[in-house]
């Protein structure tokens, strides 16, 4: 990880990503209840995209890779190529758990 040089950037990322991860938890549960909510699908996609961008800038490759895969799935959901199903939501909640673990290890 190449973020040692600028601790302020890391701290900014930790704050923003932490807020996004907290919001994702609520948003994913909401999507289970409202699977056709396009605004919610877009918000979730943007959150993964934003975390991926910050992690990429800081060269935190594992976070980038997981967020990129989540982003791919939500892009398919947004475009109607996949439907929100309980199985997909179970996987996405596990993805969120993995991201939270990775994030905690950065702190």
Give the tens place of pLDDT for each residue, 35-89.
999 999 999 999 999 999 999 988 999 999 999 999 999 999 999 999 999 999 9
- What one-character DSSP code corresponds to residue 81? S
Cα 99–8–24 angle (5° rounding)?
25
pTM for the whole structure:
0.88
pLDDT digits (tens, 9 = 90+) for 1-25: 444 546 878 888 889 999 999 999 9
> Cα–Cα distance between 91 and 17 in angstroms, integer?
20
86-106 vs 7-33: helix crossing angle, rounded to 10:
160
Give me the pLDDT at residue 9, please: 81
Give me the pLDDT at residue 6, please: 66
What are the structural domains of the chain? 7-106 (1.20.120.160)
């Amino acid at each position: 990880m190449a973020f040692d040089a600028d601790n302020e950037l890391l701290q900014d990322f930790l704050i923003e990503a932490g807020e996004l991860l907290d919001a994702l938890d609520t948003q994913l549960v909401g999507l289970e209840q409202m699977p056709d909510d396009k605004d919610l699908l877009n918000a979730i996609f943007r959150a993964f995209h934003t975390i991926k961008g910050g992690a990429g800038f800081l060269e935190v490759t594992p976070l980038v890779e997981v967020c990129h895969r989540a982003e791919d799935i939500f892009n398919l959901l947004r475009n109607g190529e996949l439907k929100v199903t309980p199985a997909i939501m179970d996987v996405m909640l596990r993805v969120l758990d993995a991201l939270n673990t990775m994030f905690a290890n950065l702190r």
